[in-house]
Structures are given as structure tokens and as C-alpha cells.
Amino acid sequence: MAKQYCSLYEKLEKETKLTKEDIKKIMNIVRKQMNFMIKNNIVITPKNYERWFYVFCNIVENNKELNDLEILGLFKEMFDAPYDEIKEKAEEGAEVKQKGMVKKLVRIADIIEQKLYEVINTIDTHNESIEHHQEEIQSESDLISDEKIQPILKKILEELEMLRRENDLLTKELRKYHADVVRLQGELMTARTEAEIDFLTGLVNRRRFERALLEMINDYQTRGYPFALILFDLDNFKQINDRYGHPAGDQVLKEIALILKTFLRANNIAARIGGEEFAVLVPGATAREGEIVANRLRQTIANRTFNTLEDEVRATASFGVTGVRKDDTIDTIFARVDKALYEAKNNGKNQVVVIE
């Protein structure tokens, strides 16, 4: 649907050569798009990023002046979908089979940045050569008294000086353009990173976690390399929010993330996959070895005092643990570990239940 709204669509899809004007247009589109998404708290997922790129492509190409409500209306006209849709359609799977516009734009920016750098260096070299020839001609002209040759040499020197000045102006423009491209690279890299990170805790989000989980399931099925999956949920978290306020609840979640980052090994993958729900992948571990990790985390959380702005808060967590099986999919292993967590909650909370 977006194709008819954005003439850059086919060029980006087919990866055809972009003109200088195309590059300027892309930079302008991305800058406007990023500002709008950040201002309106739209999560920068690959799907959201791609859709909003098309929206702002249409706005820029048609020189439209729209307010935020009109921009949201244009989005609905183009896609007939939630403007802040976070999850991909289920059939796209954990591999996220989207068009990859962010990756393409990052690659384009990288190539342009490198080419601009080379061009700037080439012009600098040419300017040095021009200055050298100017000096040589000036030196020789001082020794020549022939009145017919003198005007010719003077004209050559004037032409060389004009060329050098034009090169200087071009270099300044290119350096400014190069700086814009470098900034664009940073914006695109930020977008790509934020699409996989939970904003509050800094842990990976469910999308990235499920992709890692799928990779580990495939690894187990091809090489027999095991892993344990831990799922845990903070007990009575709603009561913490109700009693101490949501800022206190957010602080508890941040400190849970800090515990995970501190106590887990470097090869473990921890994620916030829901409101107060977290998951951990423990490579090379059986379900029973995962239980040891889960109990260590459970005890650390139970023994910790969470310092908020006004109060000291205590919390506990319930854990489910399972190990990978030969015929597992993302759905089956999650269903199993979720069942273990449910049993831990029903058995009194603040405990670990294992289903091997």
C-alpha cells in the first residue's frame, strides 16, 4: 500500500543507485520521522519504523505542512493499522521477516559516509597540488620579462586561484553534508538498537528474546547444545504500585534488571517480556542447573531492600524453570515454563518450580 505514497519505495526495494537528491531527501525524511516518533512516544520497532518512513516520505515528497493529528490521519489512510503497533503479525515469526528498511538505510548511510570521506580527501589533495603549481608558476613568472608571456601566466594564475576557491567552497559543503550523514548514521543505529531494548530496564525486549530463544532451539536440534529457560514474575506487584505509586514500581523493575545484569553470567540472556515478568536463557544448562540459577536470583530479590524516592520497598518473585526438548518450538517451551511459574504462584509464591 505504501508504494503509491512514496516514490523512493522502488529504489529502496530494488537497491538501485541513489542520486544526491535522493540522499538529501532520505536524510530529511528520517530526521522528521524520528522527531515525530520520539515526541509522540511511538516505540521504534522495525515495523513501526518502516511504516512511519513511508508516511514522512509522502509528506516530504509532496511538501505537505501537517499538524500531528493530520499526520496520524495520513498514517491511518495509508495503513489502516494502529500507529503504535508494537508486535508483528504472528505468522511473521520470531525471525521478524520485515522488509528491513532500517538495515537498508543504515547500509546506504555507511556507503555515503565512506564515499564522501574519500571525495573530501581527494579534493584536499587536488587543492594542495593546485597551490604547489601556483607557487611554481609565480616563481617562474617573476623571472620572465617577455611582455607577451606575462599576461598569459597571469591569466593561468587567476584561473588556478578561482579553481582553488571553488574547491574550498565545495569542500566546506561536502564536510557539512558529511556531518549530516554521520548524524543520520547515529539516528539509524539508535533506531535499530531501541527496536530490541526495553526502555525502562535496558534489558532486551520480548521480540529480541524470542529471536534468541529460536536460535538456541535450532542450535539444540542441530548440535545437541542444551539450555534452560527461566520465567519469573514479581509477586503482588500491583500492591506495590497501589501502595507506593507507579514511580516506585518502576524503580523496583529497574533494580530487578540491575540484579540480573550483576548476578548472571555474560552469556546468559535476560529480558523483560511483560509488565513485571522477566525471562532468562541459560546456555549449556539443564533444567536442574537452571533451578540453581533461579533460586539464587529468588533469594537475592527476597533479601533486597528496594530504595525508591520516598520509601523502602520489599518484594519477592515466583519462578518457573524448564529445559529444552528435542521437539520444542517457542510456543511449547514457553507453555511449559509458564505452567511451572503458574504452579509456583499457586503453591504460595516466592519459590521455584521446575518442569523438566
Same domain, 343 and 257: yes
Shared-domain flag, residues 223 and 108 = no
Give the residue among 272, 266, 296 at the shortest CA–CA distance from 284.
266
Q: Same structural domain for residues 211 and 189?
A: no
Average pLDDT over residues 127-152: 62
| C-beta separation of 75 from 82 below 8 A | no
Indicate whether 173 and 109 sit together in one domain: yes
Q: 7-36, pLDDT tens digit by residue?
A: 777 777 766 677 777 777 887 788 788 778
Give the DSSP H/E element, type plus range, for residue 281.
Answer: strand 277-283
Whether 8 and 132 share a structural domain:
no
Per the structure, the count of domains in the chain is: 3
Average pLDDT over residues 276-289: 94
Same domain, 218 and 188: no
pLDDT at residue 193 in the model: 55
Domain range for 77: 2-97
Q: Which of 67, 97, 127 is the last residue of a domain?
A: 97
Residues 42 and 23 in one domain: yes
276 is catalytic: yes
Q: Over 70: is that where the pLDDT of 267 sits?
A: yes
CA 15 to mean position of chain CA atoms? 21
Residue 265, domain member (yes or no): yes
Same domain, 244 and 184: no
pTM: 0.52
Residue type, 95: E
Q: Which of 140, 276, 310, 356 is catalytic?
A: 276
pLDDT at residue 302, as a whole number: 94
Mean pLDDT of 161-173: 69
CA distances from 7 to 48, 98, 101, 184, 247 (A): 19, 19, 15, 21, 45
- Please indicate, yes or no, if residue 19 is contained in any of the structural domains: yes
Which of 49, 68, 97 terminates a domain? The answer is 97
Q: Does residue 207 have a pLDDT over 70?
A: yes
pLDDT (0 to 100) of residue 96: 41
Other C-beta atoms lying within 10 Å of the C-beta of residue 236: 14
Of 172, 194, 216, the domain-final residue: 194
pLDDT digits (tens, 9 = 90+) for 247-264: 889 899 999 999 998 888
What's residue 15's pLDDT? 67
**Does one domain contain both 154 and 73?**
no
Three-state SS string over 299-329 comes to HHHHCCEEECCCCEEECCEEEEEEECCCCCC
Give the separation between CA 254 and CA 273, rounded to whole angstroms.
14
- Indicate if the pLDDT at residue 90 is higher than 50: no
Residue 200 lies in a domain: no
Instruction: Give the whole-angstrom CA distance, residue 314 versus residue 302.
Output: 7
- Domain-located, residue 201: no
Does any domain span residue 107? yes
Instruction: Using pLDDT thresholds of 50, 70 and 90, give the confidence band for residue 181.
Output: low
Same structural domain for residues 26 and 73?
A: yes
